[in-house]
Structure formats: structure tokens, C-alpha cells
Chains A and B, each alone.
Chain A
Amino acid sequence: MEIFWLLPILNIAACVLTFFFARSLAKGKAHLFTVPVVGFSWLVALFATGQVISGHEVVSQSVEWFDFGAGSLRMGVHIDGFAVVMMVVVTSISLAMQVYSISYMRGEVRYITYFAIVAFFTAGMMILVTADNLFLAIFGWEIMGLCSYMLIGHYHEDIANSGAAIKAFLTTRTGDLGLLIGAIICFWMVGTFDIEAINLAAFEGEFTGHMIEVAAIALFIGVIGKSAQFPLHTWLPDAMAGPTPVSSLIHAATMVVAGVYLVARLYPVFVEAFDVAQATGLRSVHLVALVGAVTALVGAFLALVQWDLKKILAYSTISQLGYMIFGLGVGAWGAAVFHLFTHAFFKALLFLGSGSVIHATHTQDIREMGGLRKVMPRTYWTWIVGTLALCGVAPAAGFFSKDEILAGAWHNSYQWVWILGVVGAFMTAFYMFRATHLTFHGEYKGHGHPHESDNYITGVLISLAIPSALLGFIGLPGQLNRFDRWFEPEIIHEVVEKYGMVKEEITSETYLLALVSLAVVGLGIGLATMLFLPKWRDSWVPGGLHSGWTRRAPLSYGRTLLENKLYLDALYGTITLWIRDDLSRASYWVNQKIIDRVVDFAGTASLALGRGAYLFDQEGLDGFYDGLGVGANRSGRALRSIQTGQVQQYAGVLIVAATLFGIFFILVN
């Protein structure tokens, strides 16, 4: 663990080497530089995980960076269980994604630059998760933002892609402003950027006045931007313009969870500021839980209506990030971080799987896919594992992590959040199986002959499918939970103890909650299968999807469920119609009767005023300004003679003047 500080530097070195020497030394095989480095980092991270599990001390080492009078800034690493977990996520996904890219990006433009930026990105994320102070963390945070921008715009020949890159950059920058302000407030209050010190100060209530609320809100704005929370989530779907492996690394597994990481890392600040534990007894709706829950639901709803495979996954990522954020918001720290951990694996798996599909079919539109199960068996089965994990079907990883968040919400008396979360789980199951059925089942509807991807791609998919399926078992509920015991930092433990945030025991309630969410997920999967599995769909919806089945009288068993769907459409339709007809009629009336009158009056009044002003202008002001002009002209002509254009005369005047000033001040003092 002591050599952790070396890993970001190694990755940056790999980036530089790749950039300058890959062409000459490795004949353009840029991955020869970056893959070994990230592989080494991965091994170190795994080794460190072993050490943390066996009870290794927290490693904290730092050197002075620079001294700015009022204090000094240190640069160092703080490696506790949480940092190690994040390192495992970063290095695993980065390694998988880079190996995958060897095949996926072969023959693409800017192959070398691509690998260099990916290595740089990996270094940035490592800096963020190991940083011991906020300043260094922001440093890593910004490196990621830059790399994200460059990679989204990888195919910048298409103007839409560079537009998406700019949008992503600017949106996250909007949030970053908040982050910067928050960090500065923390520095102001605590006198250091050191994260541990800030946490301790927040925990012991050393923030004066309402500064902790201000700091937390500012920091949270940064989180909203980076982690694509409502209402700044709009950049993430557009960011899908980048190559698919980039989406899997940056826009699913690592960079977008940076915000979640920040909240989890500065958890005492957020707990104290937003009263997560409801310690004052007020059932206040607080910001973190609210934003997270709304995002979880909005993301899921938006994923429902997408036809673009990657966009479905993007909205799904937004939704899952919402789960993590509200998990932190309701006080379920361990569950939220555990969900971050498992989500990274199964969502990266899904993205890479979608990349494999897109590679084979040359389209992202799921209406032009179908029947790929037979031609791409490995992609199909790994996709199924990822989907089950994302939906939260036991015993895949997502079941344990998501359910723990929901259980945390229930136990900490956030029932409204729990309801939103369960609805989100239903939607998740529905949209994922909709995508699965349309992509992999039925008949192929696209062009050409898709075929299974090569061993690089399928190998990566399989090696990500294994953790996606099995990782859940380290986060079993109650006393069986190893994840919290291994990786929860000291300060978080103290916060949880202080406010008595419930560490649930396994009771009958645990099973009940799990059963409820399993039932809901089953319902979602069943409904999606009924509506979208081609074999079955025809019996429920004759004529198929494109014949306007939602408008027909629903058939037999699927009736209620279809009605639900209809209800949604009707709701959307009503809103749209209302906006189109009633609202426009109302606004027409307002326009004619009120605004017009006001405008007329304003017109008449300003005409009268204008006449008066004209007179004043002509007679009064013109004379004055003419006088000014003439004056300026004359004085200019007079001063012109001292502008000789001779540099040395100017220098002479300067020196004489400075000397005179010097003498003057000496005499005055």
C-alpha cells in the first residue's frame, strides 16, 4: 500500500510515453505501453485489498507541495479501505476497457492518442480517490473532466460529437464551480484542505454559523454536475457520442461516480449539514436524498422511451447514480458505496456488451437489431448476467447492493424514498428487458451478417460477468456483511454510531423487503417480456410494435398492465395536448387582453417621453458633448508633442518619476 502514490505517476508516464514514442518505438501499438501499467496497478490494488482485509493500518503520507504564506499545501495519499475499493474499481474497469479497446479501436483514427488519454484519465481518477486533501482531489477531478471531454469528442470530424463534448465539459464545469467554492469554504473554516481534518471538524461541529450548510450545498452542486444528477443530467446521454469503451469506463464506472465518491468521502460534512440522520427530529426533506431519488426515477423513466442501445444504458446509469446518491442521503453509507462498487462492474459489462453488438451490427438502434442471441452467444449470455445484476435479480451483485440501499431507506424512516426506489427498480427491470428482447431475441432486422466479436472482446465480457454475478456475496445484509467491516473508514463508522443510523439486523423484515423488491423486479421483467419478446408479443399485441398497439383495445391477461402503459401515454399525451391547446389559448388571451394593453400603454408613454427627451437631447446634451469633444481634441493636440515614439525618453520619464515617488515616500515616512 505504501507505493500507491506511484501508480498515478506511472499512468501519467505511460500516457506521455504513448503520446511521444508509441509511433516510433511500437509501430503505433499504443496499448503496449498502457496495458502493462494499468495491469500492474490492478495487481497492486488487489494486493492492497488483501492487506486491508487482513487489517492493515490506514496509510497516510504527504509532502509539502507549496507554501503560500497563510498556510501550506500538502500533497499526499490517504489509503483507507474506501480508497482501496475505489482503486480496485478504477484499475479493474480501466484494464478491462483497455484490453477491449485493443480489438474495438483497431484501425480507428487516433488510436495512439486514444490510449494516451485513457491512461491519463486513469491517473486522474487514481489521484482523486487517493488524495488526502481537497485541492489534490479537485486536481484529479479536473484531469478527468478534461479527458472525458477529449474522449467524447474522439470522432470530432462529426460536428455533433464535438458539440456533445463541449456540452459535457461545460455542464460539469458548471458544477465544478460549486465544488471549488465548497472547498474554499472548507479551507476558510478549517484552515486546511486536508479531508480528514475537514471531516473531523464537521463531525465535532467546528463550522461556525451556517457555513457548513453553505459548504455542503456548494459541494453538492459539484456532485450534481459530475455525477449527472437531476437537473444537470442532460450531458450524460449526449456523452455517448464517444467510443463505447470510453462510455463504459468514464460514463458508467468511474468518472460519473466521482460525485458519489465525494459525498461518501466528505460524508460527515453532508450528514451534519443536511441532517441526514434526522437527529433534530424534523422529518425534513433534505437535498441529497431528494435529488438522488428524483434522479433515480427520472433516469428510469427516460430510459423507457429510448431506441438507442447506448442511450438506454446512459439513462440507466443516471438512474443508478441516483440510487447511490439517495443511498448516501438516507444514511446507508455502506450500501451506497457497495452499489457503486458492483454497479461499476455490471454497467461496464453492459456497455462493453453493447459495444460488441454495435460493432457487429453497425447501428445503435435496437429496432434494427434482434435475433443476435444465436449469432453472438457469448455476448448474449454475458449481457444477460449484466442485465440480471442491474435489475437486481438474486443472487447477482445488483440484488444485494440495491436492496441494501432500499432497506437502508426503509430502516432510517425514509419511506417515501423507499417507494420511489422500488418504482425505479420496477422501471429498471422493464427497460432492461425491453432492450434485451429487442436486441437479442426474435429475427434479425438489420443489414449485413452480424457475427460474434473476437476473443479480446468476449474474454473481457466473460471476465467482467464473473464479478457481476458473484460480488454481491461480500455485501450480504446484517451481520453477514463483510463489505462494511472491511472497507468502512473510521470516521464514517463514528458518524454512523453517533446518529444511530441503522445497521440492519437480519429479521423477517429483511426478507420481506427483499421479497417485495424481487416481486417488483419480477413484475417488470414479466411485463417487458410480454410486450417485447417477439415470440410472445404477437399473442398479446397482434400486429407488432409498430402498428400502434398501444392504441388498440388491450387483450386478455396483459390488460391491466397494458392499461398502465396506456395511462402513461395518455398522461404524456394530455400534458402535450394541454400545452398545445389550452395553454396556448390561455396564453393567447393573456397576450391579447393584458400584454397588448400594457404594450400599447408603454408605447404611448414612451412616445411622449421620447419627444421630451429629444428636445432635451438636441438643446442640452448635444452642446455639452460637443464641448467635450472639442476639449478632448484640443488637449490631445497639445499632448501630442510629448509622444516622440522614442522608447528611451519614455524610460527616462518612468525612472525619474519612480525616483521622485521614492523620495517623496521616504520623506513622508
Chain B
Amino acid sequence: MKLNFFLVLSAFLFSVGIYGVLARRNAVMLLLSVELMLNGVNIALVAMGVMVGNITGQIFALFVIAVAAAEVGVGLGLILLVYRNKQAVNVDEVDLMKG
């Protein structure tokens, strides 16, 4: 029963993250939203892991955290460079890849 609470929280966080990724224009907020999604998944992983009774889920969550840290490093670096070159942090102003 308790598992459901965690899964609902997880789904909620994930949805908030998706909304942020799709709706916010600020690149930093985009990154934050991605973090929210990741943490939503982490909660699900840990909760499921505890329910099943092994530590694989927790290990996986740890890996996700480590990867997320690296991702934030790279992401913020990219945003900084984009800002220096285009004076913009809004993602809709950056469309160099337009075909």
C-alpha cells in the first residue's frame, strides 16, 4: 500500500518535470525540470527496490544521481557558452539547427 504513495509522488514529479521541459523557455529551468524527472524516476527505483527486497534499485538510483551530476555540468557549460555567444538563455531563440 505504501508503495503506491511513492509511485504517485514519483509520477507527480515526473509529470511536473515533463511540463517544465515542454513549457518553460529558460534553458536553466529546462535543466532543472530534467532533474525533477530524474529524481521522480529515482524515487520509483528505490521504492520498487525496497519492495522487491534487493539493492539493485538503490544502486541504479546512485548511478542515475552520478550521471545526472555529470549531465548538469555539461548542460550548464553549454548554456553558459550559448549565452556568451548569443546573449540568450531562452531556448526558442536558439535555432541554429533549423533545417
- Tell me the A residues contacting B by CB distance below 8 Å: 67, 69, 639-648, 651-652, 655
Partner of A643, one of B30, B91, B99: B99
Q: Is the CB of B56 within 8 A of A640?
A: no
Interchain CB contact under 8 A, A655 and B98: no
Q: Is the CB of B22 within 8 A of A651?
A: yes
Encoded as 1 (CB less than 8 Å from any A CB) or 0, chain B from 84 to 99 comes to 0000000110111111
Given A69-B56, A648-B91, A643-B98 contact (CB < 8 Å): yes
Known: A69-B56, A648-B92. A643 touches B18 (CB 8 A): no
Please determine whether B98 and A645 come into contact, CB atoms closer than 8 angstroms. Answer: yes
| Cross-chain contact B22 with A652 (CB below 8 angstroms) | yes
B46 an interface residue at 8 Å Cβ cutoff? no
Q: Is there contact, CB below 8 Å, between B22 and A648?
A: yes
Max chain B Cβ within 10 angstroms of own Cβ: one of A642, A645, A652: A645
Chain A residue with minimal CB distance to B37?
A655
Known: A648-B30, A651-B21. 16 other contacts (CB 8 A): A639-B99, A641-B99, A642-B99, A643-B97, A644-B98, A645-B94, A645-B97, A645-B98, A645-B99, A647-B30, A647-B94, A648-B21, A651-B22, A652-B22, A655-B18, A655-B21
Chain A neighbourhood of B99, CB < 8 A: 639-645
Contact with A along B14-33 (1 / 0, CB 8 A): 00001001110000001000
| B55: chain A residues within 8 A (beta carbon) | 67
Can you list, as one digit per residue, whether each of B66-99 has a CB less than 8 Å from chain A (1) or not (0)? 0000000000000000000000000110111111
Residues in chain B within 8 A of chain A (CB atoms) = 18, 21-23, 30, 55-56, 59, 91-92, 94-99
Residues of A within 8 A of B22 (CB): 648, 651-652, 655
Tell me the smallest distance from the CB of A425 to a CB of chain B, in Å.
Answer: 58
Which chain B residues lie closer than 8 Å to A651 at the CB level? 21-22
What residues of A have a CB within 8 angstroms of the CB of B59 in the complex?
67
Q: Which residues of the partner chain B approach A648 to less than 8 Å between Cβ atoms?
A: 21-23, 30, 91-92
List residues of chain B with CB within 8 A of the CB of A655.
18, 21-22
CA distance A389 to B94 in the complex (A): 76
In the complex where A640-B99, A652-B22, A655-B22 touch, is A647 in contact with B56 (Cβ < 8 A)?
no
Q: When the two chains form the complex, which single residue of B21, B23, B56, B95 contacts A645, counting CB atoms closer than 8 Å?
A: B95
The interface residues of chain A lying within 8 Å CB-to-CB of B21 are 648, 651, 655
**C-alpha gap A644/B96 in the complex (Å):** 9
Please name all residues of chain B whose beta carbon is closer than 8 Å to the beta carbon of A644 when the two chains form the complex.
95, 98-99
Give the chain B neighbours of A645 by CB distance below 8 A: 94-99
In the complex, what's the smallest C-beta–C-beta distance from A632 to chain B, in angstroms?
A: 14
Given that A69-B56, A640-B99 are contacting pairs, would A646 and B18 also be in contact in the complex, using a CB cutoff of 8 Å? Answer: no
Q: Is B91 a contact of A646 with CB atoms below 8 Å?
A: yes
CB distance from B57 to the nearest CB of A (A): 13
Q: Chain B contacts of A640 at CB under 8 A? A: 99
CA–CA, A648 and B27, complex, Å:
10
| Residues of A contacting B56 in the complex (Cβ-Cβ under 8 angstroms) | 69
Q: Which partner residue on chain B sits nearest A659 by CB separation? A: B18
Q: How far is the CB of B81 from chain A (nearest CB, A)?
A: 15
- Chain A residues within an 8 Å CB radius of B95: 644-646
Chain B residue nearest in CB terms to A68: B59
A212→B47 CA distance, assembly (Å): 45
A639 to B99, CA, bound (A): 9
Contacts of B97 in A (CB 8 A): 643, 645
Which residue of chain B is the closest to A655 with respect to CB atoms?
B18
- A639 → B minimal CB distance (Å): 8
CA distance A647 to B89 in the complex (A): 13
Q: How far is the CA of A643 from the CA of B97 in the complex (A)?
A: 7
- Residues of chain B within 8 A (CB-CB) of A647 are 30, 91, 94
A655 to B94, CA, bound (A): 21
Query: Which residues from B are CB-within-8-Å of A69?
Result: 56
Whole-angstrom distance between the alpha carbons of A69 and B91 in the complex? 42
* Interchain Cβ contacts under 8 Å between A and B, 11 examples: A67-B55, A69-B56, A641-B99, A643-B97, A643-B98, A645-B97, A646-B91, A646-B92, A652-B22, A655-B18, A655-B22
Q: How far is the CB of A655 from chain B (nearest CB, A)?
A: 6
CB distance from A606 to the nearest CB of B (A): 45
Instruction: Determine how close the nearest CB of chain A comes to the CB of B88; give it in whole angstroms.
Output: 13
The smallest beta-carbon distance between A404 and chain B, in angstroms, is 52
Q: Which residues of B contact A652 (CB under 8 A)?
A: 22
- Sorted nearest first, the 10 A-B pairs with minimum C-beta distance are A645-B95, A643-B99, A645-B98, A640-B99, A645-B97, A647-B91, A651-B21, A652-B22, A648-B22, A655-B18
Which A residues lie within 8 Å of B23 (CB)? 648
Q: Which of B18, B55, B98, B99 is most buried by chain A, counting CB atoms within 10 A of its CB?
A: B99
Distance of A652 Cα from B24 Cα, bound (Å): 12
Complex alpha-carbon distance, A642 and B97, angstroms: 11
Distance in Å: Cβ of B9 to nearest Cβ of chain A = 19
B97 to A: closest C-beta gap in Å: 4
Tell me the bound Cα distance from A640 to B99 in angstroms: 5
Residues of B within 8 A of A639 (CB): 99
Within the assembled complex, what's the spacing in Å between the Cα atoms of A647 and B95? 8
Residues of A with C-beta under 8 A to B96 = 645
Measured between alpha carbons, how far is A86 from B87 in the docked complex, in Å?
A: 63
Residue in B closest to A652 when the chains form the complex, CB atoms: B22
Residue of chain A at shortest CB distance from B91 = A647
CA of A651 to CA of B94 in the docked complex: distance in angstroms?
A: 15
Residues of A within 8 A of B92 (CB): 646, 648
Bound form: Cα–Cα A647–B22 in Å: 9
Least distance between A113 CB and chain B CB atoms (Å): 29
In the bound complex, what is the Cα–Cα distance between A142 and B29 (angstroms)? 44
Minimum CB–CB distance for A64 against chain B, Å? 12
Q: How far is the CA of A641 from the CA of B99 in the complex (A)?
A: 7
Q: How far is the CA of A455 from the CA of B55 in the complex (A)?
A: 60
Measured between beta carbons, the chain A residues less than 8 angstroms from B94 are 645, 647
In the bound assembly, the distance between CA atoms of A652 and B20 in angstroms comes to: 11
Q: Nearest-CB distance from A637 to chain B (Å)?
A: 9
Residues of B within 8 Å of A646, CB to CB, are 91-92, 95
C-alpha spacing A329/B92, complex, angstroms: 72
A655-B23 Cα distance, complex, nearest whole Å: 13
- By a CB distance below 8 angstroms, the chain A residues around B18 are 655
- State in angstroms the CA–CA spacing of A641 and B92 once bound together: 17
